[in-house]
Amino acid sequence: MQPNKFFNYSFLMFIDSILYSYAQIFFSNRRWLGALILLVSMLMPTLGLMGLLGVIISNVSAAVLKFDSVKIRSGFYGFNGILFGAAIAYFYPLDLFLLMLIPIFVIITFFISSVLEHYLASSFNLPGLSLPFIVSLYIFLIFLTNYPQFIHQRLVFPYDTYISWIPNSIQLYFKSISLIIFQPGVLSGIIIAIGVLIFSRVLFTLSIISYLVSILFLNFLLPQAADNLIIVVGFNAILTSFALGGSLILPSKKSFVLVLISSIIVVIFTGFFYKLFSTSVLPILVLPFNFIVLSVIYSLKFRKEQSDLVLLYFSPGSPEENLYYHNNRSTRFDRFKYFFPELPFYGEWYVSQGFDGQYTHKDKWRFAWDFIVVDENKTQFSNDGNKLNDYYCFKMPVSSVLDGKVVKVIQSIPNNEVGEVNLDKNWGNTIIIDHGEGLLSATSHLDPDTIKVKENDYVLKGDVIGTCGNSGRSPYPHIHFQFQITDKVGDKTYLFPFAHFIEKHDDKLVAKSFDYPKQDTIIQNIVVNKSIKKAFNLKLGDKYDINFELNGKKFQESWEVKVDIYNLLYIENDKHDIAYIYLTEKVFYFSNYTGTKKSALYHYFLSAYQVPLCYSEQLVWEDEYAPSQVLGTSVRFLSEFFLSFKYFIQAKANFSFTQSEDSSTSFNIKNIISVYGSGFLSFYKKEYRCNVDISDAGYLDSYSVTDNKDYKFSAKILLSNGE
Amino acid sequence: MTSKKRYERPVVTKHYSGFMNKIGTSSFSKPMKEIDGVQVTELVEKFGSPLFIISERRIRQNQRNAYRIFKTRYPKVQFAWSYKTNYLNAVCSVFHQENSWAEVVSEFEYDKARALGIKGDNIIFNGPDKNKSALIKAIKEKSKIHIDHFDELYDIIEICDSENLRAKVAIRVNMDVGVYPKWDRFGFNYENGEAWQAIKRIVSNKNLELIGLHTHIGTYMMSTEAYRIAASKLASLARSIKEQFEIIIEYIDLGGGFASHNTLLGQYLPAEETIPSIDQFADAISSGLFELNFRQDELPFLILETGRALVDDTGYLVSTVLANKRLSDGKKALIIDAGVNILFTGFWYKHKITPAQDCGLHTEEAAIFGPLCMNIDVVRESITLPLLKKGDRVVIEYVGAYDMTQWMQFITLRPNVVMIMEDGSVELIRQAETLEYITQRELIPEKLKSKS
């Protein structure tokens, strides 16, 4: 790196670390919000400058001591410094002595915060919140009591007067918000509230609700409470609602109720601390908020089921983005398992009995399948069906669904004549395979003469283990398949899905992932297409250069495939936008995207959101985007006031393969993205068409995204994997 | 009102001893008055006689059954429609809709497939005659070229060098599979090592990508064992290629050649009872392929170029009786309006021939001649038929394969071909020829032009 570039880079990092620190105070990761709060804090220049001094000293200390630069940039170490600096200016008139003391105390704050954060994180897996600030402020205040010349005082705000036409109760709300950064003025409160509104509708709604509930409760306990008390209760309630209703816990109906309850608890704890500290010099400040949030979050960790009131488990964005990300991830990937079983046969078979079937799949055996082969008229035999040989599935190969060790083979039971059953040895010839980790599979009614494995053999996924027969309780040839957790023949079934398969409909084939074949459907395994697999089988270090055109303007971009510390593959472009990849043996997924929506990478993320690595012109498949991931959904902002209760915007992907007219590419993946509203947004509807062209040699060739009006994106890949 | 009974001329039937009754077995099935629910007479009235009729439903059924049969036995299967068997555009299109690729053996067929919208990489280019221009086109369009001989291989190497192209190639291999006649005129021989030579030659060239192995052991094969041997020999070649060159080929193409249900002239028993079913061919091929011992994700596709077995029974030829005759030895003869010029397969099959209208119980031996003024125009030397008179119609079955490609315009014009669609509608898929159509390519030198 050249010195000049290095300087630029460091300078940008420095600015980022300041802005993110300001944003962090309101649980935000937006630079613009940080900048807005920084500006607002300058309404009282002394306060503002002291806050700025605090964050600069904190971040510089962290950088000099070589703390993690990513954490410094995110504002992790800085926001306690802001609060400390601002608080000092709030409580004391500044003089030279204080100005000398402050840097030292900011450094103390920094050390306390790095210790506390680490201790809370490693011992309790909790965030530090603003506890470090409180601790170091208390140290400072108590320390200064040794010097009676320092008496803390309140500052008066001249601009309060000319907006006095606003009702006092509303003024108090804005004052509560602005007190979070020690600005007890209405104007700064209004500006911050607008900033919060733009950042997150969820947080804005919560701030009003929690303020109202806490103040009403306070009023019920203590009518005519002093404004100061109302403001302290108010800002603790607001911060608590931010943390519990959206920022540390995902927004939901339950978290909304939690906010209502905690708003009342805030009043109680404020009262408690008020009394506790009444004889001391210590102000209450954000102590109730820290206390309540930490104890609630900590106690929630001991639940048996974590499926609701979900604690944030990934690097946060806005509450909206967090919820979208979480819901999208759980609808798409929650059913995914560690194992990837495929169907136990070749070609198309028919599910003649599924779960909770009408014949035998009941009670203990409800999660089992019977498979047969049928022709296009859904008949399972040719001729008159009186001979075993007439049945299409008879003696057809049966394969292992996963790698594993054969633990049981029963192969001495003769095939029944058509229509007869062997109730004595009802499971018939059966092979049980142990796939490890406690998962076993059993295939029954096999043909006695063609079993190809012995006990203790190791088999691979797809290996033929025998053929379909008519032994046991089987009036006509079929196979019975179940997952189970023991090696006992005929044991209880275990619910486990097949990883990837194709369901045949009258006019199309539908790709399914981690799903359970349904009764009366025709299903088959996915057969991997070499070229498509090559195009999507991304490997660490793969590079792409792309020329693209967005609404008439031309750009260039380059990508590289990287892997993070969690072994997740992702594509990063030269502007540091990131698209995360999830790749199984048979299907490619983009799991998430972070960055600008103007990049070529973003459009590729949209276009190739899910791609099965096979080819059939009849194949279609579907997927779902998070509403925030698709283009032009600003209408969703309206719905986000109610996001804790309901989703009003959906974004679906409908994929198919199309035959290309152009002979230079062999495979075309078409994706129609439809974004539509429901409820009061049901007027909203938008459609985007994506196309991905893959060359026959297995290279990404070009792709495009257009809507039905004037949105036009097209990209041409100049270099892919060095070719 | 009862309709007037049909007049049938008197007939003398010689009685033979030894039959179960004095009449003997009835040697023809019921009259075939309709095809896929469409009245034969109506079709002839509308489209003329003779008339070829193809059943869309039958084609789809055959192809789907074949896919089912092979895919339940081997995980990766691809069919390629053998153009030479029947390359009427409508017929090819039905196969392509059923996911078949195209298998072509000439530039003409190649262009035909491309004109139908088949992409180069879904075309298998077979055959001993691929001229340079065809090769360049095929290589550029990434079609799969099955090399037949060394001279072709050298051509391809030269083209790739001079045009800076990369070709996807397979080789056709011939081998001893224990049947006679041995088809050793196509491709490289397996036993004498030529096939291996060709493979070495291909993998050592940077412009050639070896993607498959192909064999086609014969036509109208009645032995399934031959297919097992062929599959296992190609499997062992594929294994050697993997071991020696670390190349995993994309497919093994076992060609076609499965017998249809048409009975050969020399066969005594009807074909239905003697030839193996497609299931049995599939069993043999899949058991041969299991000798590959490849990992699941390395398994090559099995490509099949089945033609006759998929299309033969989808075609019907309706013809009209022109005259009855008695020959010198007293035998009866029937002259119909369809001759061997349009029923080329009449030279080797005993087609099933059925009256298209009600007829009496009595039958007699007869020869069937076509309308051509040529001695060779014998549709059948001898067949037992009910008594037919001028204007009656017969349906000749199993004419879907080769007849509509090997037919020729000779003495008369070739007739209409219609397809009965799945929904019962009837579509004309090839118009009857006209004088203008035949003569439009002819030129008369100036001095021969008649002066009027």
pLDDT tens by residue, A407-435: 999 999 999 999 999 888 899 999 999 99
pLDDT band of residue B218 (cuts 50, 70, 90) is: confident
The Cα-based distances of A665 to A236, A718, B110 in angstroms read 61, 14, 19
Evaluate whether residue A220 is within a structural domain: no
Of A346, A392, A528, the CB nearest to B297: A528
Number of domains in chain A: 3
For residues A489 and A577, membership in a common domain is answered with no
Using alpha carbons, select from A418, A394, A417 the residue that is nearest to residue A466: A394
Evaluate whether residue A538 is within a structural domain: yes
Tell me the nearest-neighbour CA distance from B76 into chain A, angstroms: 7
The Cα-based distances of A387 to A204, A476, A477, A479 in angstroms read 73, 9, 10, 17
Q: For residue B270, is pLDDT > 80? A: no
Predicted confidence (pLDDT) per residue in B50-92, tens digit: 999 999 999 999 999 999 999 999 999 999 999 999 999 999 9
Evaluate whether residue A145 is within a structural domain: yes
Q: Per DSSP, what are the bridge partners of residue A345? A: A398
- Using a 10 angstrom Cβ sphere, with 0-12 exposed, 13-18 middle and 19 or more buried, the burial of residue A379 is exposed
The Cα-based distances of B303 to A196, B79, B195, B349 in angstroms read 63, 6, 19, 28
Q: For residue A376, is pLDDT > 90? A: no
Please report the pLDDT score of residue A208 as a whole number.
94
Helix (H) / strand (E) element for A260: namely helix A253-276
Mean pLDDT along residues A552-558: 93
Q: For residue A112, is pLDDT > 90? A: no
**CB-based contacts of A656-659 (< 8 A; 24+ apart in sequence):** A656/A619, A656/A620, A656/A621, A657/A615, A657/A616, A657/A617, A657/A619, A658/A617, A659/A617, A659/B117, A659/B119
Mean pLDDT along residues A352-356: 93
Q: Do A617 and B71 touch (CB under 8 A)?
A: no
Cβ atoms of A339 and A435 within 8 Å: the answer is: yes
Cα–chain-centroid distance for residue B262?
Answer: 11
Mean pLDDT of chain B: 90
Q: For residue A664, is pLDDT > 70? A: no
pLDDT band of residue B434 (cuts 50, 70, 90) is: very high
Please report the pLDDT score of residue A489 as a whole number.
92
Using alpha carbons, select from B346, B272, B341 the residue that is nearest to residue B309: B272
Q: For residue B195, is pLDDT > 70? A: yes
Predicted confidence (pLDDT) per residue in A462-519, tens digit: 999 999 999 999 999 999 999 999 999 989 999 999 999 999 998 899 999 999 999 9
Q: For residue B245, is pLDDT > 60? A: yes
Cβ atoms of B259 and B276 within 8 Å: the answer is: yes
Residue A586 structural domain: 530-720
> In order of start, what are the domains of chain B with their CATH numbers?
34-54+314-434 (2.40.37.10), 56-312 (3.20.20.10)
Using alpha carbons, select from B65, B103, B74 the residue that is nearest to residue B214: B103
- Position of tokens 């093994």? B252
Mean pLDDT along residues A207-231: 89
Q: What DSSP character marks residue B321?
A: E
Evaluate whether residue A281 is within a structural domain: no
- Using a 10 angstrom Cβ sphere, with 0-12 exposed, 13-18 middle and 19 or more buried, the burial of residue A152 is middle
The CATH number of whichever domain residue A6 belongs to comes to 1.10.3430.10
- Helices B278-289 and B56-71 cross at an angle (nearest 10°) of 30
Supply B258's token pair: 């499965």
For residues A545 and A694, membership in a common domain is answered with yes
Please report the pLDDT score of residue A104 as a whole number.
87
Q: For residue A720, is pLDDT > 70? A: no
Cβ atoms of A515 and A337 within 8 Å: the answer is: no
- A 10 A CB-CB count for A454 gives 9
Q: Give the least confident one: A2-16, A133-147, A335-349.
A: A2-16
**Residue that is last in its domain, among A102, A131, A155:** A155
Q: For residue A263, is pLDDT > 50? A: yes
Of B61, B119, B295, the CB nearest to A663: B119
Return d(Cα B440, Cα B430) in angstroms, integer: 18
pLDDT band of residue A11 (cuts 50, 70, 90) is: confident
pLDDT above 70 as % of chain A: 95
**Residue that is last in its domain, among A117, A136, A155:** A155
Taking the model in full, what pTM does it have?
0.84
Supply A621's token pair: 């498949």
Cα–chain-centroid distance for residue B57?
Answer: 17
Of B74, B99, B250, the CB nearest to A346: B74
The Cα-based distances of B32 to B38, B395, B427 in angstroms read 11, 7, 20
Using alpha carbons, select from B432, B430, B433 the residue that is nearest to residue B92: B430
Mean pLDDT along residues B247-271: 85
Helix, strand, or coil here: B218? coil
Using alpha carbons, select from A531, A519, A400 the residue that is nearest to residue A466: A400
- Position of tokens 């700064």? A188
The 3 state secondary structure assigned to A578-646 is EEEEEECCCEEEEEEEECCCCCHHHHHHHHCCEEECCCCCCEEEEEEECCCCCCCCCCHHHHHHHCCCC
Please report the pLDDT score of residue A1 as a whole number.
46
Using alpha carbons, select from B317, B338, B312, B277 the residue that is nearest to residue B398: B312
**Residue that is last in its domain, among A446, A470, A496:** A496
Q: For residue A338, is pLDDT > 90? A: no
Residues from chain A contacting residue B119 (CB–CB below 8 Å): 659-660, 663, 666
Evaluate whether residue A503 is within a structural domain: no
Nearest chain B residue to A390, by CA: B279
Q: Per DSSP, what are the bridge partners of residue A484? A: A440
Cα angle A656, A662, A664 (rounded to 5 degrees) comes to: 105
Helix, strand, or coil here: A284? coil
Q: Provide CB contacts within 8 A for A190, sequence distance 6+.
A: A174
Q: For residue B316, is pLDDT > 80? A: yes
Return d(Cα A110, Cα A114) in angstroms, integer: 6
Return d(Cα A217, Cα A209) in angstroms, integer: 12
Number of residues that this document lists for chain A: 723
pLDDT above 90 as % of chain A: 50
Evaluate whether residue A468 is within a structural domain: yes
Nearest chain B residue to A345, by CA: B72
Residues from chain B contacting residue A659 (CB–CB below 8 Å): 117, 119
The CATH number of whichever domain residue A392 belongs to comes to 2.70.70.10
For residues A39 and A138, membership in a common domain is answered with yes
Please report the pLDDT score of residue A160 as a whole number.
60
Check CB contact of B115 with chain A, cutoff 8 Å.
no
In a mutagenesis test of the B interface, which of A379, A449, A527, A537 is the best target, namely the one with the most B β-carbons within 10 Å? A527
Q: Do B72 and A530 touch (CB under 8 A)?
A: no
Nearest chain B residue to A522, by CA: B68
Q: Per DSSP, what are the bridge partners of residue A431? A: A409, A443
Please report the pLDDT score of residue B25 as a whole number.
56
Mean pLDDT of chain A: 88
Of B407 and B5, more confident: B407
Please report the pLDDT score of residue B230 as a whole number.
94
Of B64, B72, B74, the CB nearest to A376: B64
Helix (H) / strand (E) element for B132: namely helix B132-140
Tell me the nearest-neighbour CA distance from B42 into chain A, angstroms: 29
Q: What DSSP character marks residue B306?
A: -
For residues A538 and A686, membership in a common domain is answered with yes
For residues A583 and A711, membership in a common domain is answered with yes
In a mutagenesis test of the A interface, which of B95, B119, B272, B278 is the best target, namely the one with the most A β-carbons within 10 Å? B119
Tell me the nearest-neighbour CA distance from A652 into chain B, angstroms: 29
Supply B118's token pair: 């088949």
Cα–chain-centroid distance for residue A54?
Answer: 34
Evaluate whether residue A550 is within a structural domain: yes
Evaluate whether residue A73 is within a structural domain: yes
In a mutagenesis test of the B interface, which of A389, A464, A696 is the best target, namely the one with the most B β-carbons within 10 Å? A696
- Helices A201-221 and A186-199 cross at an angle (nearest 10°) of 130
Q: For residue A712, is pLDDT > 80? A: yes
Mean pLDDT along residues A337-345: 93
Most confidently modeled of A58-62, A326-330, A654-658, B425-429?
A: B425-429
Nearest chain A residue to B300, by CA: A530
Instruction: Please state whether beta strands A509-515 and A522-525 pair in parallel, antiparallel, or not at all (unpaired).
Output: unpaired
Q: Do B296 and A463 touch (CB under 8 A)?
A: yes
Supply B4's token pair: 């007037």
Find the chain A residues whose C-beta atoms sit closer than 8 A to any C-beta of B: 345-349, 373, 375-376, 392-393, 396-397, 460-464, 524-525, 527-528, 530, 585, 616-617, 659-660, 663, 666, 696
For residues A572 and A486, membership in a common domain is answered with no
The Cα-based distances of A653 to A396, A501, A507, A670 in angstroms read 37, 19, 19, 10
Return d(Cα A183, Cα A620) in angstroms, integer: 57
Please report the pLDDT score of residue A308 as a whole number.
81
> What torsion, rounded to 10 degrees, do the Cα atoms A517, A522, A523, A527 define?
-170
Predicted confidence (pLDDT) per residue in A575-591, tens digit: 889 999 999 989 999 99
Of B6 and B348, more confident: B348
Predicted confidence (pLDDT) per residue in B126-171, tens digit: 999 999 999 999 999 999 999 999 999 999 999 999 999 999 999 9
Residues from chain B contacting residue A696 (CB–CB below 8 Å): 121, 142
What sign results for the dihedral spanned by CA atoms A89, A95, A96, A98? negative
Return d(Cα A225, Cα A223) in angstroms, integer: 6
